[in-house]
């Protein structure tokens, strides 16, 4: 067994100490080592267990972890929700969800039989203190019957307005205490996973943190941003810090600019009420896009452990200067889709979506230019864009390098060369592409851009785990490296609040419309054209 510094996936996860130090198995497929990487026995309580998230993400993730042999036999799931369901009906609900959404199907009978023995359901209204006491009693009983050792992971799969109340109830029912004696004997841990959005602006995010922190310590809180669980995002750190090749050029001397794209073809998928209060800046930029930026731009951490990684990420965000209203007008573009065609299907306008105001000004697209004021990045623009109902689904970070100091070949008559690009494709088709100029075979001097292309799918025979598999396992192991800390959340809002304020006051520029199925409003192209650049087509 070698000690390796690095993030891990379910396929490679090690055990973590309190600060998330990891040990990686030299051969992660060896059965004996897999056992060493298993989390301690625990119960995961999904609060809001009958919702969409459990169905689409949590149930399939837990099943796949079970299937991969990453969970101990004692592992138990308790669903807590308002709906009146028996244990059996809840099991059936999870079985159907897995059958529908799991990356491995059909459900394997032997695995399901042992998994389902550890699935229970507790009905309860979130404000009903009795229900939480009943949950506490149930968990004590489970500890005794199933040997879960008093370890509890609470997953808040509910809208954020309910977070404060639920956390308060957990505290009042004695469920938040970590490391204290449990009625069943041992001294288990207690952790809480909180889903985004983490607030609506800086003030509400601070308020939410305060309310959660009245009950849980920061070390017990796991704020999930599922982008950090994506394989390529984790690989970004390996790419930069595990290779000698790239880090020396990862700075303002060699890099001209960086583009971060989170493009979706889907619209708002029936979430009109939520989305019309939220918009693209809060839904994607506040968390996923700024986390990609932070990992891309951070300094090497002293060690690969949760606190060091998060210290470095927050330093990047501190370097991003919040904009003045006139900078917002100049460096941001907000858009909203009107009807069009996406992947051959007719898509109606955003304003015609159910539960969206017919005169809504909410942005479904945003493009912005950010500057990081740091020794490494001064003068390098970071362009971010994200949108719904765009021409293609693509998340990538594209680095454009500076041109060679002399245009030698142009002097000899060749056409101007395209810039060198390194594109890190997060999804789909995960991989890394390097684009450079090569001589076209033949007697003349013609130069053309060519690609060197690494694809996860063809280089590794294994399937990537879903981000939720990685993150749930990490939370059970106690490794918070891929979860967001309170200061990161706050800083992200400090960057975005001025943009939201300038937009809503009208000082931040108009709302632009774009046809569904396009790459966004022309104003976003103009943002880069003014800087002498253009967006890359992923």
Residues 262-281 contacting ligand BG6, CB under 6 A? 264
Least Å from the CB of residue 7 to ligand BG6: 18
- In contact, 61 and 67? CB cutoff 8 Å: no
Q: What is the 3-state secondary structure (H, E, C) of 140-208?
A: HHHHHHHCCCCCEEEEECCCHHHHHHHHHHHHHCCCCCCCEEECCEEEECEEEEEECCCCCCHHHHHHH
Peptide bond into 369 cis (omega under 30): no
Closest-CA residue to 212 (of 185, 191, 226) = 191
Closest to ligand BG6 by CB, 235 vs 395, is: 395
Least Å from the CB of residue 219 to ligand BG6: 24
Least Å from the CB of residue 223 to ligand BG6: 13
Closest to ligand BG6 by CB, 155 vs 377, is: 155
Size of residue set near ligand BG6 by CB under 6 A: 4
Query: What phi, psi does 485 have (nearest 5°)?
Result: -90, 160
Cα(26)–Cα(6) distance, rounded to whole angstroms?
Answer: 13
Distances (CA, A) of 278 to 185, 206, 271, 363, 390: 45, 18, 10, 9, 18
Question: To which H or E segment does residue 387 belong?
Answer: strand 381-387
Residues 203-242 contacting ligand BG6, CB under 6 A? 226
Least Å from the CB of residue 163 to ligand BG6: 16
Closest to ligand BG6 by CB, 226 vs 310, is: 226
Closest to ligand BG6 by CB, 50 vs 395, is: 395
Cα(521)–Cα(478) distance, rounded to whole angstroms?
Answer: 43
Q: Does 490 bind ligand BG6 (CB under 6 A)?
A: no
For 452-481, the DSSP string reads: EEEEHHHH-SSPPPPHHHHHHHHHHHT--T
Residues 323-382 contacting ligand BG6, CB under 6 A? none
Least Å from the CB of residue 328 to ligand BG6: 23
Closest to ligand BG6 by CB, 198 vs 304, is: 198
Question: How far separated are the first and last CA of the chain, in Å rounded?
Answer: 40
Least Å from the CB of residue 59 to ligand BG6: 17
Closest to ligand BG6 by CB, 381 vs 538, is: 538
The residues carrying an active-site annotation are 288
Instruction: Name, in order, each residue with C-beta under 8 angstroms of 79's C-beta and a sequence gap of 6 or more.
Output: 45, 46, 49, 50, 54, 85, 90, 94, 119, 120, 121, 122
Instruction: Name, in order, each residue with C-beta under 8 angstroms of 461's C-beta and a sequence gap of 6 or more.
Output: none
Residue 139 has which token pair?
């968990």
Least Å from the CB of residue 249 to ligand BG6: 29
The sign one gets for the Cα dihedral 486, 489, 495, 497 is negative
Least Å from the CB of residue 205 to ligand BG6: 16
Beta strand 381-387 pairing with 221-224? unpaired
Closest to ligand BG6 by CB, 91 vs 226, is: 226
Closest-CA residue to 122 (of 148, 141, 109) = 141
Q: Does 283 bind ligand BG6 (CB under 6 A)?
A: yes
Peptide bond into 428 cis (omega under 30): yes
Closest to ligand BG6 by CB, 37 vs 57, is: 57
The residue of the chain with the least Cβ separation from ligand BG6 equals: 283
Contact letters for ligand BG6, residues 383-402 (x by CB under 6 A): ------------x-------
Instruction: Name, in order, each residue with C-beta under 8 angstroms of 418's C-beta and a sequence gap of 6 or more.
Output: 435, 437, 449
Least Å from the CB of residue 395 to ligand BG6: 6
Closest to ligand BG6 by CB, 283 vs 486, is: 283
Instruction: Name, in order, each residue with C-beta under 8 angstroms of 380's C-beta and a sequence gap of 6 or more.
Output: 252, 255, 256, 257, 258, 371, 372
Binding site for ligand BG6 (CB under 6 A): 226, 264, 283, 395
């Amino acid at each position: 067994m070698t000690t390796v510094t690095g993030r891990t996936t379910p396929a490679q996860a090690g055990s973590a100490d309190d600060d998330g130090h990891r040990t990686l198995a030299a051969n992660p497929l060896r059965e004996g080592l897999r056992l060493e990487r298993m989390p301690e026995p625990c119960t995961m309580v999904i609060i809001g267990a009958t919702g969409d998230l459990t169905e689409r993400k949590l149930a399939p993730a837990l099943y796949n972890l079970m299937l991969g042999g990453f969970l101990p036999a004692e592992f138990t799931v308790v669903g807590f929700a308002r709906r009146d369901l028996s244990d059996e009906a809840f099991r059936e609900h999870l079985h159907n969800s897995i059958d529908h959404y799991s990356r491995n199907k059909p459900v394997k009978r032997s695995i399901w039989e042992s998994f389902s023995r550890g699935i229970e359901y507790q009905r309860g209204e979130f404000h009903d203190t009795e229900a939480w006491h009943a949950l506490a009693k149930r968990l004590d009983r489970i500890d005794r019957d199933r040997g879960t050792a008093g370890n509890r992971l609470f997953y808040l799969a509910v809208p954020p307005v309910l977070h404060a109340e639920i956390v308060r109830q957990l505290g009042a029912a004695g469920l938040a205490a970590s490391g204290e004696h449990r009625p069943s004997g041992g001294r288990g841990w207690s952790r809480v996973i909180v889903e985004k959005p983490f607030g609506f602006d800086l003030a509400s995010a601070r308020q939410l943190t305060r309310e959660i922190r009245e009950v849980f310590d920061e070390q017990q809180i796991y704020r999930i941003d599922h982008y950090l669980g994506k394989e390529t995002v984790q690989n970004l750190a390996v790419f930069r810090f595990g290779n000698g090749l790239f880090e020396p050029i990862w700075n303002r001397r060699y890099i001209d600019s960086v583009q971060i794209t989170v493009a979706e073809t889907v619209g708002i998928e029936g979430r009109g009420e939520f989305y019309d209060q939220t918009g693209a800046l809060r839904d994607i930029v506040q968390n996923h896009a700024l986390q990609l930026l932070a990992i891309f731009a951070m300094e090497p951490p002293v060690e690969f452990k949760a606190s060091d990684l998060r210290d470095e990420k927050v330093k990047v965000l501190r370097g991003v200067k919040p904009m003045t209203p006139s900078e917002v007008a100049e460096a941001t573009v907000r858009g909203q889709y009107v009807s069009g065609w996406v992947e051959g299907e007719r898509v109606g306008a955003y304003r015609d979506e159910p539960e969206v105001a017919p005169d809504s000004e909410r942005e479904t697209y945003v493009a912005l230019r950010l500057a990081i004021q740091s020794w490494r990045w001064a003068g390098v623009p970071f362009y971010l864009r994200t949108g719904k109902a765009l021409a293609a689904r693509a998340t990538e970070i594209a680095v454009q390098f500076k041109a060679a100091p002399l245009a030698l070949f142009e002097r000899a008559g060749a056409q101007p060369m395209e810039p060198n690009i390194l594109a890190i494709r997060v999804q789909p088709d995960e991989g890394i592409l390097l684009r450079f100029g090569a001589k076209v075979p033949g007697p003349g001097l013609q130069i053309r851009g060519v690609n060197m292309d690494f694809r996860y799918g063809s280089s590794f025979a294994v399937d990537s785990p879903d981000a939720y598999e990685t993150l749930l396992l990490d939370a059970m192991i106690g490794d918070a490296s891929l979860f967001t800390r309170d200061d990161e959340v706050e800083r992200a809002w400090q960057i975005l609040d001025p943009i939201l304020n300038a937009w809503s006051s009208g000082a931040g520029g108009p709302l632009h419309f774009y046809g569904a199925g396009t790459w966004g409003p022309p104003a976003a192209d103009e943002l880069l054209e003014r800087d002498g650049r253009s967006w890359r087509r992923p």
